Chains A and B, each alone.
Chain A
Amino acid sequence: MSSFDTPHRIFLFEMVNGKKKAGYGPSPGEAYERLGLRLTTMEMAQVRPDKFERVSQREFRKHIHELG
């Protein structure tokens, strides 16, 4: 599971309030699951697992103002 076997990607998940939540992992599904490691069930309910875009680390700065 190191970076050599399964490189990770960054995903921006849409939230029901129109903001976005940054998640990361080898796949969108795992990135969503990993958000649940630090967010409450109620907070996770605000995140839409099926609506996301993949962004590169380099491009992430363009999306800072969208986070919530």
Chain B
Amino acid sequence: MGVFPTKRLWLDLGDFGVFAHGGAQDLWQDHGLGVLRTIMHQAGVPTDIASTRAMRWWWQVRRAVRGYDQLFMNVRSYTFPFAYRAAKIFKEENPKGLVLVGGMHATVALDELEAVPEIDYICQSAGENVVVPLALNPESFPRIIKGISSKTLGEWPMMDRTLWPNPQRRDFPWPLEPSCGWGPPPVATVLTSRVCPWQCVFCSESSYIPNMGRKPVDQVIDELNYLDDHYGPLGSVVIYDSMFFQQPRWLEEWLEKYPKRAHKVWPYWAGGRTDTVRQWPDLFEALVRETNWDTVSLGFESGSTRVLNILNKETTAEDNDFSIDLVNELGDKMEAEGKKAPVFWANIMLGIPGETREDAFATIRMLRKMKRVLPSIAYYAPYPGSILGHQLIAEGRSNMTKDNYHRYAHDRKVKGIDYDFYDGLLKGKFDRGINAGSSKELEARLVKA
């Protein structure tokens, strides 16, 4: 009698139906899933893939998981409701099968995953060094596993993007990605660094993700050239790092090599902080001009230093103003030279506990100073994992539950916040208090954050 190979399924998690009908951000691919599947496949541990984003009904999930021995899921807080329901369905279909999960939510809200009896193994922290032995010999592991991360991103294999789910859309250049308005398609999303070391209390990611060394500049460029050769021509790049504009030595090497070694100086989206822009303005300007950093994502958060202090942002309204003036002037100069001006992707939060109406007006005023901007506005959400999130949960002020961790920007997630005021603010009802003009565009720009 032959031995049947273990059948393994990765379930990509997200809102139902968004591959067909979702917005741009719903189509982003999951780098954690991609890297872990690459590691498994290179080790001779193949997995099949299915995605809730390609389905519309739970019966389709049931059909997709039927007959498998192992189910793998990368669980984020906002996908947790899908993960626990999928785990239950998997066990109903495959009572002897195993459910193995990891991801951010396993790290920041372990108790919620432990409470789901259908989940057999939970990997906290990084999964890259544990996923293969866990798949091969799960019985040798405890239910809760502490993953050990690689020392640097350079140790990760180059992700095989054909292991991502294929949305099967004409406008989706799989295994590359579509444009979400930042740069032309096809888009290559890459990571050069992981973990922002600052201590903003709405995020606090370095409290739960271990520090890792940055990916060598040459390796980043090699990957982009490979993608261009095999799936391109590339249109633009998204550097997904939580904090791209840090570590000046790495940035100087990027400045030197990217324009020379990349097949093309593809325009890119990348993020920074306003105090780092103020600290290294010459380096910032050189990167914008010479490496085509044309969508500059900055975490402004608020136009009020008082609120920035509530968020422990360690920046000031003056830092924000400095960056706005710099990018406005740089954009004017570049346009005068016949070049495309850089655009802000401005991360803004409203509805922060302790924020006054005047603070919120200052934020809108700040936003209106930006000459070229794509506003990304969301109401503050007290996610577990973040220091302020945990504090507000302990105070009983959070409206978030395991059933509504989703990232809908208009959600009313904190008790005691006057959300009607904020809705009115974004509709322009308080423009007289801010300055003239309509805020309709801002309301439309509430995005998943």
Say yes or no: A37-B354 contact (C-beta < 8 A), given A4-B279, A60-B207.
yes
- CB-CB under 8 A from A1, the residues of chain B are 305, 316, 318
Establish whether residues B199 and A24, one from each chain, have CB atoms under 8 Å apart when the complex forms: yes
CB of A45 closer than 8 Å to a CB of B? no
Query: For the side of the interface on B, what is the size category?
Result: 20 to 34
Bound Cα distance A58, B391 (Å):
16
Establish whether residues B309 and A34, one from each chain, have CB atoms under 8 Å apart when the complex forms: yes
- CB-CB under 8 A from A64, the residues of chain B are 390, 394
- CB-CB under 8 A from B314, the residues of chain A are 2-3, 6-8
Establish whether residues B306 and A57, one from each chain, have CB atoms under 8 Å apart when the complex forms: no
Interface residues of A in 28-68 (CB under 8 A from B): 34, 37-39, 57-58, 60-61, 64, 67-68
- CB-CB under 8 A from B312, the residues of chain A are 8, 10, 24-25
Bound Cα distance A61, B206 (Å):
11
- CB-CB under 8 A from B328, the residues of chain A are none
Establish whether residues B198 and A24, one from each chain, have CB atoms under 8 Å apart when the complex forms: no
Shortest CB–CB separation between residue A39 and chain B, in angstroms? 8
Bound Cα distance A4, B319 (Å):
11
Bound Cα distance A56, B315 (Å):
19
Establish whether residues B310 and A38, one from each chain, have CB atoms under 8 Å apart when the complex forms: yes
Establish whether residues B275 and A22, one from each chain, have CB atoms under 8 Å apart when the complex forms: no
CB of B337 closer than 8 Å to a CB of A? no
Establish whether residues A22 and B395, one from each chain, have CB atoms under 8 Å apart when the complex forms: no
Bound Cα distance A22, B391 (Å):
7
Say yes or no: A68-B394 contact (C-beta < 8 A), given A8-B312, A57-B204, A57-B387.
yes
Listed from nearest, the 10 A-B pairs whose CB atoms lie closest are A38-B354, A2-B275, A3-B314, A67-B394, A24-B312, A57-B207, A38-B353, A37-B354, A22-B391, A1-B316
- Chain A to chain B contacts (Cβ below 8 Å), 11 pairs: A2-B279, A2-B316, A3-B198, A22-B201, A24-B387, A34-B309, A37-B354, A60-B204, A60-B207, A67-B390, A68-B395
Binding site for A on B (CB under 8 A): 198-199, 201, 204, 206-208, 273, 275, 278-279, 305-306, 309-310, 312, 314-316, 318-319, 353-354, 387-388, 390-391, 394-395
Binding site for B on A (CB under 8 A): 1-4, 6-8, 10, 19, 21-22, 24-25, 34, 37-39, 57-58, 60-61, 64, 67-68
